[in-house]
Amino acid sequence: MKAIVDFLKKNNPNYSTSDGELMQQALDIAAAKLGICEENKHERSSLIRFVRAAFIIGNRDVDAIASFTVNAILIRRKNSHR
């Protein structure tokens, strides 16, 4: 399951191609682990925001970003069912 997002957009002024590829890879891993697809736009948007947040604070490890993102979404899911 490959999430489509603008992380791979050419000439993105916010980050380099290699940074975009890193975030895209982390996004794809997290989306697959959580079963998030394009149709679930609410969770998909949250997933993208958490990937960006992990990257912005300096994380450059794909697996760590994906893990952080998965945990954040699981906590969000748990809290929304209270």
Q: Which of 14, 36, 29, 19 is nearest to 67 (CA)?
A: 29
Query: What is residue 2's predicted lDDT score, i.e. its pLDDT?
Result: 53
Domain boundaries, the chain: 14-80
Query: What is residue 5's predicted lDDT score, i.e. its pLDDT?
Result: 60
pLDDT along the chain (82 residues), means of 10: 64 85 94 84 87 96 98 92 71
10: left (phi over 0), alpha (psi -120 to 50) or beta: beta
